[in-house]
């Protein structure tokens, strides 16, 4: 198995429904998905997690992200972090499609990301 994986979506407009990139790319430390919500579409349910934090990136469009009963307007460029216990759901309450990425990972402190780095050579 190679030390990397590449998936070309040929543009964000080609994202239909939900794509789990963990399956597509063989992710081992996180789950990542891309999702298109059509105009007026809601996520199918509210949810929380036992141990996983989520990071959402709104790539295009806009809508409403509700966490623990608090409604927040989100749009292109919005980045949202939700701790495991946060009860959350996303709504596209606009008249245009919304594309977003969700990265899910275990919520635990990283003491120093450089402790895990193995610098081979510097680029010139």
At residue 33, the 3 state secondary structure works out as strand
DSSP, residue by residue, 51-105? SEEEEEEEEE-EEEEEETTEEEEEETT-EEEE-TT--EEEE--SSS-EEEEEEEE
User: Each residue of 14-26: pLDDT tens digit?
Assistant: 888 888 998 889 9
Q: Write down the mean pLDDT value for the chain.
A: 89
Taking residues 103-115, what's their average pLDDT?
78
pTM: 0.83
Average pLDDT over residues 29-43: 92
Residue extents of the structural domains in the chain:
11-56+73-97
């Amino acid at each position: 198995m190679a030390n990397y994986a590449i998936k070309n979506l040929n543009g964000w407009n080609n994202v239909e429904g939900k794509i789990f990139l963990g399956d597509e790319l063989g992710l081992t430390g996180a789950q990542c998905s891309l999702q298109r919500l059509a105009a007026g579409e809601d996520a199918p349910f509210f949810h929380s997690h036992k141990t996983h934090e989520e990071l959402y990136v709104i790539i295009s469009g806009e809508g409403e992200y509700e966490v623990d009963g608090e409604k927040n307007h989100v749009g292109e460029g919005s980045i949202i972090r939700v701790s495991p216990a946060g009860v959350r759901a996303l709504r596209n309450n606009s008249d245009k499609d919304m594309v977003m990425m969700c990265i899910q990972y275990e919520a635990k402190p990283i003491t120093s990301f450089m402790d895990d780095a193995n610098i081979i050579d510097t680029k010139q």
